[in-house]
Chains A and B, each alone.
Chain A
Amino acid sequence: MSWEESALTITVFLPMVGAAIIAMVPSEREEYARTIALIVSAIAFALSLIVLAGYDFGARGLQFELNTPWLSVINANYHVAIDGISLPLFVLSYLLTFLCSIYAFSHLEDPGKPRAFLALMLVLQTGMAGTFIAFDLVLFFIFWELVLVPMYFMIGIWGGPNRQYAAIKFFLYTLFGSVFMLVAFLAIFFSLPGAERTFDIVQLTQLAMEGEFDRQFQILAFLGIFLGFAIKVPMWPFHTWLPDAHTEAPTIGSVLLAGILLKMGTYGFVRIALPILPDGAVAFAPIIAVLSVIAILYGALCCLAQRDLKRLIAFSSVGHMGFVMLGISTLTPIGINAAIFGMVAHGIITGMLFFVAGSVKERYHTREIAEIGGGMFQVMPRMGGIFAFVAIASLGLPGLAGFWGEILALLAAFSPAESLQPYLGLYRTLMVFGAVGTVLTAGYFLWMMQRVMMGQAPERWKDASLEDVSPLELGAWMPLLLMTFALGILPVLVTGVTDIDVTRIMQVFG
């Protein structure tokens, strides 16, 4: 087997091997777990960069492909590959895990236990990365489900005061959607005539383009798949698990949850739901668009009401995912490019936000905005500066990464796909509401900055001599800060990668 074929498999399963190694570390030497995790995630990140370097940016279609029979009885193959849509998210997941393992050196919540925590984190990494490279529905589903258990334990053991509730709600809600998704996958499989039956995403996309699935069936199947992905994104009104999960999760858990796990849902729409069920997509697109804009506005309004810093950032995720889904619902190449860009940008920015929130919590020992009381610029100028930078990036200031996801999504909403022409008026109205949403987004972030960072700091914080950003933290955050800036000035860094394959997939929509 050549490097071409095995690269993805090695990169995806290396963290799991690392987790097994960490599990064997004796409890007296538990501190070694952090070093091992750092080394493993660094190697994995390096491998993902090698894949990135070896990727041919001018070529259409799948690269690093491996397609071997696995469970021949049900015609499920082990089919992994990478293309322009998967690549940014794939590399991002490794970057975030690597940075998390650096951060874990000094920031692990009660009850500590780095061995267990880092092993779970690495298993989570395998699940996340695997979803982005799986090209067989069964394989995709297995990686999809794989992330549930580690995240459940991460939230449930290392989380905040309400962690039990948050963890079980996250697990059951997501499981519910994903099992319906499995039934829909099976329905797609069995709707094909015997000889053609396959779980392979590439073949199914081809069959869909040839018009193999009839419209009625597509709508039903899309409903099942929609449920699974919509809960993960999360779309309004399936978002209720998110605020609790994000708030109660430990910092690293929140970073990975917001940074990558949410993207699995939107990626699923782009990779599976839209190409395999195009007529279903066209039927549901207006509904998705409406729900997305509701999410944008609802998320923003909820943020305005929040008193808890982490919960505010959690609701901001709901809003940002609204923009991503709005882009997807337009069924145009611009929209999908906007969506993927928005996914990457959100992963970087909100990952960064949760890192900062975690560090702030650790110093102030509270997440309440009122408790913090303001004046972070006085007490911890560098922390305040970084926090302000990331908050501004998140609200979509032009020149920083967050801007392009929002503007391109709104632009796409102005001219949705040919097949959505009857809904042109609806989309343009939604575009206006979405733009209003950006104002509200700016509003809550600026107000949060004012309450947290500006003004006079309360006496007790001035006297507490809080430690500013440590070198370790700065080391962990610097790549993300640089990327926020770079993507803002050079959006082609992402769109150049995604555009070719997005155009290829969106051909079916005309």
Chain B
Amino acid sequence: MSDVTTVDLFALAPELAVLAGALLVLLVELFLPADSKRRVNAIGVISVLVALGFVIALATDGQARASFGNMFVVDNYALLFKAFFLSVALFVLFMSYRYFSEFRTYQGEYYFLLLSAFLGMMLMASARDLVMIFIALELVSVPGFVMAGLRKFDLRSNEGAMKFFLIGVLSVAVLLYGLSIVYGYTGTTDLVGVAEALRGMDEPFLNASILFVIVGFGFKISAVPFHFWAPDTYEGAPVPVTAFLSVASKAAGFAGLLQVCFVAFEPVAHVWALPLGVIAIVTMTVGNLTALQQTNIVRLLAYSSIGHAGYMLVPFAVVRAGETELNRTAFAAVLLYLLAYGIMNSAAFAAVVAVTRGDPTRLIADYAGLGRRAPGMATVLTLAFLSLGGIPLLVGFWAKFFVFRAAVVAGTTFAIVLASAVVINSVIAMFYYLKVLRIMWMDEPVTDEHLRPGFALNLAALGLTVLTVGAFFAFDLFARAADISTLVVAATGG
């Protein structure tokens, strides 16, 4: 039994940097005058950059490190996700800079919560133990509950945060219940240990508890039927927080689900693969069909991200115990989809933040004629939406391609059904993406108001757009990175 108290400080350096940043933000904000409180954003950015520096240092260092007795591990998977989360943190910070200073709310507290949430995400990436995963999940969720309600004067924000909180706490309770039963059967919380112990077990109650764990994560990734909080919370929250929830929070949920399903529960894949497949189909269908009806851009993006969660669940459904090649392909598909989705969804939200800053209504109709009013932002949103739809020359195409690849490799009838569902849903999704594009480029503008995005937001939007296009051509890099970051290892005998 490894010593739980061992601490490798270098392995923890990125987390410590972000933690220091969070505490510093809280402290410094107290001493700033009211109109300069947004300056603490810079502290956040600096701490994220320092953390990124540490991540790069750990990557070049090469050796896998462990801390807290193998509960916290730094390997390729962890480093890839940390880099991803920190980049998203950077973009969310850029998006938040001016947005949060323009209405009466807490700024220092917001940045503290944001950085804490990203700290939780980095822990999630490194967690190789059920307890650690749980802690990380909580650390990601709780700040989210508060951040969603930061528009205190807006009733919809209060409602969204309340729904998020209640459903979130319920799901976490279910998750914990499932985890504790799994512990009861296996006697360990270490992911690899759980996998070893589960090999060959087929208790009904154990199978049920595995499904409880899936349910707990299902809430986090807004899978149907655990998605009911998402549209209201997304609509009510400040838009950068919505961006955070839809990209980073969802990715954290997937990171955890990847570890749990592909490592801990891999030997009992027959228990959860089929239910996840059904959930995948239902999620993408409900998400896309409901998005068709939306008139509010943020709700449309909420349902669209529910649809994308459905696509990301498809590779989970083809996993089979012991088949390393297949599982590696599926793992890579989820990983690549997450990376691509992070880029394109952030780009979409950057444009939405620019357009709807300050204006609470956010109707799609307000985007009419954006192509004439603000061609730059309109192009960003166009490329983001086309990428989300899966059009080539944009990174979203490869994301869908790899999901199809995973389904086709599996070859079973169910896998083909999943692939067909993705096909049909891609077409449905293109319909509402094109609807927004049409309104932006083909309709007359309703207002003459010029956008003033500010430097930080422009930088974020530009960077994300470049990535959306550039990642398409350089996708080999991403694919190779996903390959070396896989957690799926060949089953050793015995």
Could you tell me if B397 and A145 are in contact, using CB atoms closer than 8 angstroms?
Answer: yes
Question: Which chain A residues lie closer than 8 Å to B386 at the CB level?
Answer: 149
Chain B CB count within 10 A is highest, among A73, A153, A167, A180, for: A73
5 pairs from A and B in contact (CB 8 Å cutoff):
A73-B479, A142-B393, A146-B393, A171-B430, A190-B411
Contacts of B411 in A (CB 8 A): 190
A172 & B393 in contact (Cβ 8 Å cutoff)? no
Is the C-beta of B414 less than 8 angstroms from some C-beta in chain A? no
- Asked whether A446 is an interface residue with its Cβ less than 8 Å from the other chain, the reply is no
CA distance A235 to B404 in the complex (A): 26
Q: Interface size class for chain B?
A: 20 to 34
Query: Could you say which of A101-109, A181-189, A447-455 contacts chain B?
Result: A181-189
Which residue on A lies nearest to B424, using beta carbons?
A176
- Check B427–A179 contact: CB distance below 8 A: yes
Q: Digit string of B404-441 for contact with A (CB within 8 Å is 1, else 0)?
A: 11011101000000011001101100110010001001
Q: Is B476 an interface residue (CB 8 A)?
A: yes
Cβ of A71 and Cβ of B423 under 8 Å apart?
Answer: no
Mask, A134-171, CB within 8 Å of B = 1, is 00001001110110110011001100000010011001
Interface residues on A, range: 20 to 34
Residues of A within 8 A of B (CB): 70-74, 138, 141-143, 145-146, 148-149, 152-153, 156-157, 164, 167-168, 171-172, 175-176, 179-180, 182-183, 186-187, 189-190
Q: Is the CB of A164 within 8 A of B438?
A: yes
Task: Give bound CA distance, A157 to B419, whole Å.
Answer: 33
Cα distance A167–B419 in the bound complex, in angstroms: 26
Determine if B480 is an interface residue (Cβ-Cβ < 8 Å).
yes
With A152-B434, A153-B441, A157-B441 already in contact, the answer to whether A146 and B475 are too (CB < 8 A) is: no
Contact, CB under 8 Å: B430 / A74: no
Q: Which 4 A-B pairs have the closest CB atoms?
A: A73-B479, A142-B392, A186-B408, A179-B423
Per-residue CB proximity of B466-494 to A under 8 Å, as 1/0?
00000000011001100100000000000
B455 within 8 A of A: no
Cross-chain contact of B408 among A70, A143, A164, A190 (Cβ < 8 A): A190
Whether B20 sits at the interface, judged by CB under 8 Å, is: no
Binding site for A on B (CB under 8 A): 386, 391-393, 397, 401-402, 404-405, 407-409, 411, 419-420, 423-424, 426-427, 430-431, 434, 438, 441-442, 475-476, 479-480, 483
**B408 — nearest CB in chain A belongs to which residue?**
A186
Q: Bound state CA distance, A164 and B441, in angstroms?
A: 12
Asked if B480 and A73 make an inter-chain contact with CB atoms under 8 angstroms apart, the answer reads yes
Least Cβ distance of A206 to chain B in Å?
22
Chain B residues near A190 (CB-CB < 8 A): 405, 408-409, 411
Given contacts A149-B386, A190-B409, is CB(A172)–CB(B427) below 8 Å? yes
Say whether, besides A157-B441, A179-B427, A168 and B391 are in contact (CB < 8 Å). no
Beyond A157-B442, A168-B431, A171-B434, is A179–B397 a contact (Cβ under 8 Å)? Answer: no
Contact B423 A180 (CB under 8 A): yes
B121 CB → nearest A CB, Å: 26
User: What distance in Å separates the Cβ of A117 from its nearest Cβ neighbour in chain B?
Assistant: 12
- Shortest CB-to-CB span from A277 to chain B, Å, is 16
Q: In the complex, what residues of A have CB within 8 A of residue B391's CB?
A: 145-146, 148-149
Given A71-B475, A73-B476, A146-B392, decide whether A176 and B408 contact each other with a Cβ distance below 8 A: no
B427 near A175 (CB under 8 angstroms)?
Answer: yes
Looking across the interface, which residue of chain B has its beta carbon closest to that of A176?
B427
Report the nearest B residue to A179, measured CB to CB: B423
Q: Which residue of A lies closest to B389 (CB)?
A: A175
Measured between beta carbons, the chain B residues less than 8 angstroms from A149 are 386, 391
Question: Are the C-beta atoms of A168 and B441 separated by less than 8 Å?
Answer: no
With A164-B438, A172-B427, A186-B404: A142-B397 Cβ-Cβ less than 8 Å: yes
Q: Which residues of A contact B480 (CB under 8 A)?
A: 73
Could you say which residues of chain B place their CB within 8 Å of the CB of A175?
426-427, 430
Bound together, the chains give a CA A157 to CA B423 distance in angstroms of 27
Chain A residues with CB under 8 Å of B402's CB are 74
Q: Contacts A171-B430, A172-B427 given: A183-B483 contact, CB under 8 Å?
A: no
In the assembled complex, the Cα of A153 lies from the Cα of B407 at a distance in Å of 32
